[in-house]
Amino acid sequence: MPDQELEKIIRILNLKPLPGEGGMFAESYRSTDSILRSGLPERYSGGRLAGTAIYYLLTDEHDSFSALHCLKTDEIYHFYLGDPVDMLLLLHGGGSQHIVLGQDLIHGQAVQFTVPAGTWQGSRLAPGGRFALLGTSMAPGFDPDDFMLGERSELLAGWPQERVRIERLTRI
């Protein structure tokens, strides 16, 4: 896809840089319903929207990646178009999992994948890729209080076998 077409996609979706995490995003859905604190698990500090969704874009620019982060809510990824995305999950107990988001279902890529709440996650384009347009949705909806950005030294201490990937997916 020529750069002009990618720029058109950015304009059409009104994508903006996502501070801290990286990549570009635009909120595409924000529920008008709310869930009271009393109706949520104890890990939440207050009430939340019933659901939210975003568009999310990664490009082949060096700094375009989703830095390792953790959320209090399951996050469902949807692959829309572009090139495959390598995702790293750092699991409780020191294990890890690698997922490839993309359209090639026959060869194990996933067009949809759910990252469980409390799991460290980060992603970037697979080598040779130019861009990927994804979406994510969450219920209850995203709240900044539920987001924690990973620190390289702490993640390396818990998952030393993932040193190379952690170094590529952290900014701090």
Structure confidence by residue, pLDDT tens digits, 41-98: 999 999 999 999 999 999 999 999 999 999 999 999 999 999 999 999 999 999 999 9
Q: What is the CATH number of the domain that holds 51?
A: 2.60.120.10
Q: What is the pTM of this model?
A: 0.93
Sheet holding 96-101, edge to edge: 96-101, 85-90, 120-125, 66-71, 147-149
> How many domains in the chain?
1
- Domain residues for 49? 3-168
CA distance 114 to 130: 24
Structure confidence by residue, pLDDT tens digits, 70-86: 999 999 999 999 999 99
